[in-house]
Every structure is written in C-alpha cells, then in structure tokens.
Amino acid sequence: MKTIVANWKMNGTVDYIDDYFDKFLSNVKIVNSEVIFAVPYVFLEHVKKIVKNQNIKIFAQNCSHEEDGAFTGEISASMLSSMGIDGSIVGHCERRKYGENCEIINKKIKILAKYNLKSIICIGEENKNQSESILREQIKECLYEIDSKNHVVIAYEPVWSVGRNDNLDLKEIAHSIEIIKNMVIELGFEKLKILYGGSVNKNNAREILTNLDINGVLVGRDSLNPMNFSQIVNFLE
Ligand code: PGA
C-alpha cells in the first residue's frame, strides 16, 4: 500500500478547506493507498471532523521536542494525541532553516512515539551530488536510539528539489534512495517506509511512483489543488 502525503504548509482558511474537501472527496477513491493530510495546527480539528475515510490520516506539520511546560507557542505530542491526530512531519527543510537539527528531530520522534504517534522524518541534502555522507549522518542522528520501528517513515526530500520547477533527475534520486535503504537496513529498520518529496505534481507523479523504489510521495504545492491532488491519489487505485 503506497502512502501519499499532502503537506499544506502555511496555507488554507476554513472556507478553503470546506471547498477543498467537497471537491477532493467526491473525486477520489482511496482503497489501495493511504493518504495523509499534514495541515496547520489550527485546522487539525476542522479537517478531522470533515474527513471520515479510514484510509485518510491527519498529521501535524511539526511538534515540540519538549513534553510540556513554559514553551509559549509550541504544541506538544500529548496535545496532538489527545485530539486523535495520527502523527506529525518532523525535520522539514523549511524548519531546519530555523535551526532545527537532527538532535532536536530525534527528541521529537521519541516523544511522538511515546504518545503512539507516527513521525514522517524529512531528510535531504542541500546541493546536488553531495548526498551520501549527509544522508548517512542525518539518518544515523535522527534514528539514534529509536526502537519503535513502526512509528517512523522517512521522506527523502532533497532541498534542491523542494518548491522548485526544474525537471527532476530521477537517476540521482534513485541513487539517494538506494543509499537510504541500505543505511536503514544496516540500522535494523528493514521494513521502514521511504517516501520521496520535492516538486511532485500531477504530471510527474506516475513516473516517480513507478520508477523509484519508494513507498509513496510527499506533495507540497500540488496538494493544495484538490483536483490535482485527487489525480495523484487516483493513479494508485
Ligand atoms: P513541493 O514541496 O512539492 O512544493 O516541492 C514539497 C515539500 O513540502 O516537501
């Protein structure tokens, strides 16, 4: 079963969401795949109320690495869990820009797992052709002392492909995916799901999903268009 993640980033309003799901839900058939909507915190509850399909999961886009306390503006794993949220993206490159490092990401993964929530861990190199050592280091540090194997998914998102419109170099991406696969096997995570993210859209999704050895994709911009995103999901049905 493939996983298709929509990362809405800092987009949306209540009206937009109502209209979005009217269109999306009447256009998709989700039987053979799992769809995850990672939406802004303030909309988690609203989206959860609208979406009743068992194969659609609702995720946050981030979570604090602290358990609770004096951390103004932060949201904890226990809060997400108490709202019936399924998990969170952690370590997105748009957050790493603000100082989030692998040590913090590792704490987030552990605390999410403690509350039985999943982590989609984003990793990826900044520049082309420098992936191997960076990916190995990121995986090692992010997965340090993590034993809850069912709670983690890796999203390989080369920073150079996120939010861009260039043609994707699938050969280079395939090479990085292979490095990640070997590394997670070395660490004893044989069955860990690996997703690809960065410039996935309705025009290239089929090629990406059929040519790369991956368990799904993470979609940013094109997930904001309900018709385009439903088309990506429907490829798998
Ligand atoms: P994009 O974003 O699909 O707009 O490149 C991907 C992401 O959020 O990681």
Nearest to 201 by CA among 220, 178, 188, 215: 220
Burial label for 85, CB within 10 Å (0-12, 13-18, 19+), is buried
Q: Whose CA is nearest to atom 1 of ligand 1?
A: 220
Nearest to 20 by CA among 228, 220, 201: 228
Burial label for 205, CB within 10 Å (0-12, 13-18, 19+), is buried
Cβ atoms of residues 157 and 123 within 8 Å = yes
Residues having CB within 6 Å of any atom of ligand 1: 7, 157, 162-163, 197-200, 218-221
Cβ atoms of residues 192 and 153 within 8 Å = yes
If you compute the radius of gyration of the chain from its CA atoms, what whole number of angstroms results?
17
pTM: 0.96
Please tell me the distance from the alpha carbon of residue 199 to that of residue 146, in angstroms, as a whole number: 30
Q: So which residues are the catalytic ones?
A: 92, 157
Pocket test for ligand 1, best of 90, 93, 199, 222 (most atoms within 8 A of CB): 199
pLDDT at 147: 84
Cβ atoms of residues 75 and 31 within 8 Å = no
**pLDDT, tens digit (0-9, with 9 covering 90-100), for 119-145:** 999 999 988 877 789 999 999 999 999
Pocket test for ligand 1, best of 157, 168, 201 (most atoms within 8 A of CB): 157
**pLDDT, tens digit (0-9, with 9 covering 90-100), for 21-47:** 999 999 998 988 999 999 999 999 999
* 79's tokens: 């809060």
Nearest to 196 by CA among 166, 221, 161, 226: 161
Identity of the amino acid at 107: K
**pLDDT, tens digit (0-9, with 9 covering 90-100), for 76-85:** 999 999 999 9
Residue keyed to tokens 């298709």:
4
* 166's tokens: 């260039």
**pLDDT, tens digit (0-9, with 9 covering 90-100), for 207-221:** 999 999 999 999 999
